[in-house]
Amino acid sequence: MSGNSSLDPYTEQAQNNDVTTQEKIAGLKEIIKSTETAMLTSRSSDGSFHSRAMSPVHPHSETDLTLTFFANSVSHKFEEIEHDSHVNVSFLNPTTTSWASFSGRATVTQDPAEIKKYWSTATSAWFGDLKDGIHKGDSNDPRVALIQVVPDEIRYWYATKGKVGRAIEIGVGAMTGKTSTPGELRTITSNEIKLTQGLHTK
């Protein structure tokens, strides 16, 4: 790099550090609600990364940044989380191109009170009734567990222009050499996350 010129003008121009914490959380929640399905990535003992699609349950507060997922406790991802609790959770809306990335730590709980708090009848479809009187696919099924991801940092891209606007800006950029930034990169920092966690601590 020579002088003060940036070799990554896209990131430099798109990064918006003037958004309030409340505005950043509102933008993030908009992306999550529009996508519903997330990719949860964990790491195995040999260093390999594995991702799978999962649907987070809706939090009881619009400011809660912890992600909660129902999962089968006998699945391989639990071994990976036990080995290394560091995980990534990502969301993508292909229509708007908005995306979000959570870097954090996963914990596992089978607390009956927590499970019942988030349980819905639709959840049972992911477990099934094995007809053995124990594994009935209900909230008391011993296979049912919650994976909760507490983020250390959240980065997301918030599209500020629609499909036509994005296409025009990209086209102009391609012809003129101007960097195209039809959206904003926003970061919810560790300190901001800790403040929101404080609001939800009993």
Percent of the chain with pLDDT over 90: 71
Task: Round the average pLDDT of the chain to a whole number and report it.
Answer: 86
Question: Judging by DSSP bridges, how do beta strands 67-72 and 183-188 pair with one another?
Answer: unpaired
Query: What is residue 40's three-state secondary structure?
Result: strand
pLDDT for the residue 81: 97
Would you tell me how many other CB atoms lie within 10 Å of the CB of residue 184? 20
pLDDT digits (tens, 9 = 90+) for 153-165: 999 999 984 443 4
pTM of the model: 0.83
Instruction: Tell me how far apart the alpha carbons of residues 113 and 111 are, in angstroms, rounded to a whole number.
Output: 5
pLDDT digits (tens, 9 = 90+) for 21-77: 999 999 999 999 999 899 999 999 999 999 999 999 988 788 899 999 999 999 999
Residue type, 152: D
pLDDT for the residue 182: 64
Closest CA to 109 of 137, 81, 130: 81
Would you tell me how many other CB atoms lie within 10 Å of the CB of residue 199? 9
Contact 148, 66 (CB under 8 A): yes
Burial of 53 (0-12, 13-18, 19+ CB in 10 A): exposed
